[in-house]
Amino acid sequence: DAGVIQSPRHEVTEMGQEVTLRCKPISGHNSLFWYRQTMMRGLELLIYFNNNVPIDDSGMPEDRFSAKMPNASFSTLKIQPSEPRDSAVYFCASSDVGQDSYEQYFGPGTRLTVT
Amino acid sequence: RKEVEQDPGPFNVPEGATVAFNCTYSNSASQSFFWYRQDCRKEPKLLMSVYSSGNEDGRFTAQLNRASQYISLLIRDSKLSDSATYLCVVLLVRNSGNTPLVFGKGTRLSVIA
């Protein structure tokens, strides 16, 4: 079975550019989560969706960040304009809450560097 | 106070040693607890859930003390392959459709030959 798929795996961009990160959750999972991980702050939840609906975006740092989930098999996280402090590893995770299991399955992450 | 606190380590132990990690959480309404493992430059993966009665999976034992809001992970007979960062994870609200997990910053373990 394919796990959570993220693209690109690495992204290097210049300050001010738009960055779009993509995620395909595990088929059948009804919840999707976007995280950001840095050495200083650890793993932070940015936003999560349940049945394609955003439930809580309080972790989104600024208006420069936006996320969408147009269907059950695809989500994007966009940063516009990007800044050097956005450099981090961005993980997407999915889970199937209905089975009373809260295990989240993480994708391999996108390592973003903003210069 | 941070919601989930862990000693960042690193813990450097020889092969065969027993090592224990501790974690405290601030929200007494927390419902479920987990340990995740994250290898260097990889994604976090579930290691084990933590139950009130304590649970064991091979060389790994997890304990929960709700009164003290304290979680522990014990690794016996450490292997080189146990080297990783161990993340303490807490589920704050158990409500259908709302499942935010809160991750600690992790404790780094290095097992040395």
Confidence band of A1 (pLDDT split at 50, 70, 90): low
Res B98: pLDDT: 55
Side-chain half-sphere exposure of B56, counting CA atoms within 13 A: 3
**How deeply is A7 buried, as exposed, middle or buried, from its count of CB atoms within 10 A (0-12, 13-18, 19+)?**
middle
With CB atoms and an 8 Å threshold, state whether B91 touches A102.
yes
| Residue in chain B nearest A105 by alpha carbon | B45
Which residues of chain B make contact with A48, given a CB cutoff of 8 A? 99-100
CB atoms B32 and A102 under 8 Å: yes
Please report the pLDDT score of residue B52 as a whole number.
83
User: Smallest Cβ distance to B101: which of A51, A102, A109?
Assistant: A102
Residuewise pLDDT in 10s, chain B (113 residues): 678 999 888 999 999 999 999 999 998 888 889 999 999 999 999 999 998 888 999 999 999 999 999 999 999 999 999 999 999 999 876 555 555 788 999 999 999 99
pLDDT attached to residue B32: 87
Which is it for the CA torsion A20, A56, A69, A91, positive or negative?
A: positive
Residue-level pLDDT at A103? 84
Q: How far apart are CA A110 and CA A9, in angstroms?
A: 4
Instruction: Please determine, for residue A13, whether its predicted confidence score (pLDDT) is greater than 90.
Output: yes
What is the percent of chain A with per-residue pLDDT over 90, rounded to a whole number?
A: 79
Q: Does B2 touch chain A (CB under 8 A)?
A: no
- When pLDDT is cut at 50, 70 and 90, the band that residue A92 belongs to is very high
Mean pLDDT to the nearest integer, A13-40: 95
For A55, the closest of B98, B104, B106 (CB atoms) is B98
Q: What are phi and psi of A86, to 5 degrees?
A: -80, -5
Contacts of B45 in chain A (CB under 8 A): 106
* φ and ψ of A84, to 5 deg: -55, -35
Q: How far apart, in whole angstroms, are the C-alpha atoms of residue A33 and residue A47?
A: 6
